[in-house]
Amino acid sequence: MKNQKMFDLLLPLNSEQLNNLKQLEMTCTNIQSAWLSGYFWKIANQKSDVISLKKDKLNENNQIITIISASQTGNAKLLSERLNEYLNKNNKKSRLVNAIDYKFKKIKDEKILILIISTQGEGEPPEEALSLYKFITSKKAPDLNHLYYSVFGLGDTSYNLFCQAGKDFDKRFKELGGKSLLDRFDADIEYEDDYNKWSQDLLESINNKEIIVKSSFLDLEKENKFTILNNSYTKQNPAKAIILKNQKITGRNSTKDIRHIEIDISGLNINYIPGDALGVWYKNDTNLVKNILELLSINMFDKIKIKNNVITIFDALQNNFELTNNTKNIVKNYTSFTKNKSLKNIVSNDFDLQNYTIQTPLIKMINDYPSNLSAEQLISLLRPLTPRLYSISSSQAEIFDEIHITVSVVKKLISGCMHFGGASGYITQFLKPDDAIKIFIETNNNFRLPINPNTPIIMIGSGTGIAPFRSFMQQRDNDGAKGKNWIFFGNPNFTEDFLYQTEWQQYIKKGLITNMHLAWSQDQEHKVYIQERIRENGKEIWSWIEEGAEIYICGNASKMAKDVEKALLDIITENSGLNLENAHEFLNNLRFKNRYKRDVY
């Protein structure tokens, strides 16, 4: 007995805690055990951080800088982490928080705020920043006269509303009285040099400001809630995995070509959670590269210099540059090289230029207006190649050493020749089983299953937007989760486009899927869309919301997701007695509580 007491004293846990831990361990899968390990490590580190920060609070001259990451594809998150490290190395007190975890009502207590933000859809903030944006643009927004801030926007100049989210936040901060530490910077997809210069200028500006700031400590319970699972591979250092399967899952008469892709990751240190995305580095089609070079009278063996490396123009176009999307800047610059009168007329009118850019791929423009360019001139037109992200459609708890994605093939007939989208064409047309593919995991902590397996969930998706819900069902099936599951899915035709039909039928038979409502837009004279199915089931949806259900939307941001949100607002107003303004606030509160989650593109 004496030895047992001594043993208990030496343990960091008492007997009751140890017994509870052992009972929990018996119910956990390997993936869940790994997650818990990381979770408790995070808690331990956060508690030590809180102690340290509370000590700092005694020094009223501490300058606490809050960095908010608002990311869509992970770039803003990476830059925010780099900035946090950079400021700490330069003796600045900074903390990093994901926008979804930011206690936005306490923004009135901030003194120095740095926002690094991307733009999604039609100039909208990324999903994780919507609650903050809706708050600061509402009547409840506080005075920010005390605030010094800076915004670094990430975007793509090929879109009309370039870096619009950053511009909107910057404008609103100013309207509320905020003072700019440094002018907003709008960065294009090749942002590395711009970021380095901006971060140095930011530090200098902070040093030059004589700001005496009382430490303002937000609730750290949810801060730094970035992914716990560590992967050895990143966007900059991708893994080489192996293609296992490339299977068409739409019918022969379908207007869509959608593929189920299976990838072998055995032997690789890759972990993922349902809701994450797979980043894929791709190569441009050989025939497309040859066609462009031939039309521009460029020898494929001509040498160019890229980042101190001398390579052939053929290799550069295949591996380093975006060739499938056209932009207004490319059209303008190509026109200045070619002096073509037809292109000059297009460029002279903004409306015509916008329409032309949307409707005319790069290869068609060159095919219609060929010219003689040098390899250097061609390279100066183009944007760097970037990886594509695909929602993962599998659960690692069920399939272990594989990753599945669901890919819609982008293709267009141009001048009698079929041209494919860069990534979708590479994955589905070029790669075969046993071929290697460069991949990495892009975590998405804002699109997770409920922690409580008894929580009901409502999943809404169209087309390949069904992908993450396949991973959700695999995970819930594996976990034996008791929560109700309701799926809304839309596509053109029942017989041709019911993706993963047999799997859903098995889950329904098993009782895992409680409800499944389908919308086939082309199967009848009157087109039926997913939002109509949602309205038809409004009362039951509302009862699920009252039970604590979490709602997930995946798919097109500008069309489906907006229409679905309007339908949900209608359901709220009809069943709660709230007016439209309060219904918006109700939905935003669901978003803030992580009960309304969207993965839109």
User: Which residues are known binding-site members for FMN?
Assistant: 71-76, 118-121, 154-163
Helix (H, G, I), strand (E, B) or coil at 173: helix
What is the amino acid identity at position 357?
Answer: T
CB contact at 8 A, 396 and 31: yes
Rounded Cα–Cα distance for residues 436 and 264 (Å): 10
| Tokens, residue 169 | 């936040």
Instruction: Report which of 273, 265, 276, 242 is spatially closest to residue 402, judged by C-alpha positions.
Output: 265
Helix (H, G, I), strand (E, B) or coil at 485: strand
Q: Which residue do the tokens 């009862």 mark? A: 543
Instruction: Report which of 473, 455, 471 is spatially closest to residue 545, judged by C-alpha positions.
Output: 455
Query: What are 48-57's contacts with CB under 8 Å, separation 24+?
Result: 49/220, 50/220, 53/95, 53/215, 53/217, 53/220, 54/217, 56/93, 56/215, 57/215, 57/217
Instruction: Report which of 368, 370, 369 is spatially closest to residue 415, judged by C-alpha positions.
Output: 368
Rounded Cα–Cα distance for residues 484 and 548 (Å): 11
551 φ, ψ to 5°?
A: -110, 135
What is the amino acid identity at position 291?
Answer: N
Q: Cite the annotated binding site by residue number.
A: 71-76, 118-121, 154-163, 324, 358, 388-391, 406-408, 421-424, 521-522, 527-531, 563, 601
Residues 6+ apart with CB under 8 A from 104: 131, 132, 135, 136, 592
Q: Cite the annotated binding site for FAD by residue number.
A: 324, 358, 388-391, 406-408, 421-424, 601
In sequence order, the β-bridge partners of residue 419 are: 412
In sequence order, the β-bridge partners of residue 570 are: none
| Tokens, residue 132 | 């903050």
Rounded Cα–Cα distance for residues 224 and 219 (Å): 11
Q: Cite the annotated binding site for NADP(+) by residue number.
A: 521-522, 527-531, 563
* Alpha-helical regions (H) of 422-510: 422-425, 467-479, 494-497, 501-510
CB contact at 8 A, 419 and 288: yes
CB contact at 8 A, 138 and 170: no
Cα 413 to chain centroid distance, Å, stands at 30
Helix (H, G, I), strand (E, B) or coil at 518: strand
Rounded Cα–Cα distance for residues 306 and 262 (Å): 34
CB contact at 8 A, 234 and 440: yes
94 φ, ψ to 5°?
A: -130, 155
Q: Is 571 exposed, middle or buried (0-12, 13-18, 19+ CB in 10 A)?
A: buried
